[in-house]
Amino acid sequence: MQSTDFAQRRERLFDKMENGIAVIGSNIFMQRSNDTDFPFRQNSNFRYLTGINEPDCVLILSKKADEQKVFLFIRPNNELEEMWMGKRMGLEKSKDLIGADKTFPISDFNKEMEDLLPGHKNLYVHFHERADLFTNLQKICGDLFNKKRKNTAQPPQAILNVGQLIEELRYVKDQNEILTMKKAMVATNNAHRAAMALTAPGRSEKEINALIEYIFTKGDGQGNAYDNIVAGGNNANILHYIENNQALNDGELLLIDAGCQLNNYATDITRTFPINGKFTGAQKAVYEIVLDSQKAAISHSWPDRNAPDMHKTTCKVLTQGLIDLKVLSGSLDENLEKGTCRKYFPHGTGHWLGLDVHDQNPYLDSNDEPMKFEPGVIFTVEPGLYFPKEDATLPEELRGIGIRIEDNILITETGHENLSAMIPKEVKEIEEACEKDYRDFLD
């Protein structure tokens, strides 16, 4: 990405703003325990608008009737701290990189904001990120307000959600973003294929998880885009199972939900396959129903269509499947009316995907209507069926089966492109992939 690309994004944000000042924080280091921090991961909105990957920064966009300015607060260069903690961009380099009107040391934030805030009608902040920054700004504005009789310019009188404006910008992905996600998918494909090949009775969720992490980190990838889910047997029925530490048993399935992150962009892929390499009859019957529902949902992926209608399509196929499996009784219409499949399919069909695995894009438009799919929009399609072992109301052969199949779909001018189409998904493809040698996917 060129710095002009980030400048264009800021320009589009300016266009959405009225007279006001937007304050967008980077992430900060989060303490793990004494003297150790969690790995740093940049705030997605800050990254989207600057490309900068450092903690302790704040981007300021100032829009007044007659001028627009960009300011950046950032850590200054410091030889001693950089010797301990790594290089910093510093004030000059970051100013040139993003074309800011001025950069300031982050330690001067409160002092400088007393000068920058007055004269703007609105203060744009993110309503659910960096609560510390929000509180700090409230205090600075309050203090300025108390002093206002002595000043001519007023501090902002209204607070608006900058998050909502950036969400709208991030909805349609540009060619760079799409290319990045396609590159990340190469490692995701290798990891899922290697996992299918290595998995066998006697192996553990932990070993498979380690292999996936290795593949996600050894090349350009930055590791996983979210906590991997490596769930053998009944663990697949815990939707966000992340312990990944149990033995893998003969005759059971392994559900893996794992996606590589590249340049902070996520992939989000789930495959479910037999631990011993061959589906049982009952496993195959459930798998085919989930697969049919996923294909029906993907075939709904066209410009001008929307996610709630896609979800209805998924539920229809799954509900008919549940009737065929004798899990549900009664007619299809009765069951659809009552939403009975929700017990076995308790989540949505998908979500937006991009810099965040659950990308911050709007689900409703300004009329509260579902957002329409348009070229450049990327989302997941991830139906599942979950039959907990403990549920004695289920036919016995289904208990302990949990299956989800998840692909990442790009809407194009003429329909869609499945970005994860290369990852085995048909029963035959999966059984063949389970026969391979995992070392074939390590290069």
| From 31-39, 209-217, 359-367, 405-413, span contacting Mn ion (CB under 5 A) | 405-413
State the minimum distance, in angstroms, from the CB of residue 348 to ligand GLY. 9
112's contact among ligand GLY, Mn ion, none, with CB below 5 to 8 A by partner kind, is: none
Residue 382 contacts ligand GLY per CB under 6 A: yes
State the minimum distance, in angstroms, from the CB of residue 382 to ligand GLY. 6
Q: CB-based contacts of 78: which residues, under 8 Å, 6+ apart?
A: 88
Q: CB-based contacts of 225: which residues, under 8 Å, 6+ apart?
A: 184, 259, 260, 261, 265, 266, 267, 268, 357
User: Catalytic pick from 241, 382, 407, 416?
Assistant: 382
User: Catalytic pick from 177, 205, 252, 257?
Assistant: 257
- Residue placing its CB nearer to Mn ion in the complex, 9 or 192: 192
Strand, helix or coil for residue 43: coil
The binding track of 393-432 with respect to ligand GLY, each residue x by CB under 6 A or -, is: -------------x--------------------------
CA distances from 82 to 34, 76, 85, 88 (A): 20, 10, 5, 7
CA nearest neighbour of 185 among 403, 422, 375, 358: 422
User: Catalytic pick from 170, 406, 407, 416?
Assistant: 406
State the minimum distance, in angstroms, from the CB of residue 357 to Mn ion. 7
Stretch 189-248 residues interacting with ligand GLY (CB under 6 A) = 226
The binding track of 261-300 with respect to ligand GLY, each residue x by CB under 6 A or -, is: -------x--------------------------------
The pair of three-digit structure tokens given for residue 202, joined into one six-digit string: 């006697």
- Residue placing its CB nearer to Mn ion in the complex, 384 or 400: 384
Residue 278 contacts residue 303 (beta carbons within 8 Å):
no
Torsions phi, psi for 294 (to 5 deg)? -70, -40
Strand, helix or coil for residue 219: coil
Residue 351 annotated among the catalytic residues of the structure: yes
Q: Whole-angstrom Cα distance, residue 332 to residue 317?
A: 10
Stretch 233-272 residues interacting with Mn ion (CB under 5 A) = 257, 268
Q: CB-based contacts of 204: which residues, under 8 Å, 6+ apart?
A: 245, 246, 247, 248
CB-based contacts of 397-402 (< 8 A; 24+ apart in sequence): 397/280, 397/281, 397/282, 398/282, 398/286, 398/325, 398/327, 400/233, 400/234, 400/237, 400/252, 401/236, 401/253, 401/282, 401/283, 401/286, 402/231, 402/234, 402/235, 402/236, 402/237, 402/253, 402/255, 402/272
190's contact among ligand GLY, Mn ion, none, with CB below 5 to 8 A by partner kind, is: none
- Residue placing its CB nearer to ligand GLY in the complex, 14 or 226: 226
Q: CB-based contacts of 309: which residues, under 8 Å, 6+ apart?
A: 300, 370
State the minimum distance, in angstroms, from the CB of residue 228 to ligand GLY. 9
Residue 257 contacts ligand GLY per CB under 6 A: yes
Residue 115 annotated among the catalytic residues of the structure: no
Residue 416 annotated among the catalytic residues of the structure: no
Q: Whole-angstrom Cα distance, residue 361 to residue 364?
A: 9
State the minimum distance, in angstroms, from the CB of residue 209 to ligand GLY. 14
Q: Whole-angstrom Cα distance, residue 174 to residue 4?
A: 14
User: Catalytic pick from 75, 192, 193, 404?
Assistant: 404
Residue 359 contacts ligand GLY per CB under 6 A: no
- Residue showing the smallest CB distance to ligand GLY in the complex: 257
Residue 35 annotated among the catalytic residues of the structure: yes
Tell me which of 180, 361, 380, 408 binds Mn ion, using CB under 5 A: 380
| Contact residues for ligand GLY, defined by CB under 6 A | 226, 257, 268, 351, 357, 382, 406
Enumerate the active-site residues. 35, 240, 257, 268, 347, 351, 358, 382, 386, 404, 406
Per CB under 5 A, residues contacting Mn ion are: 257, 268, 380, 406
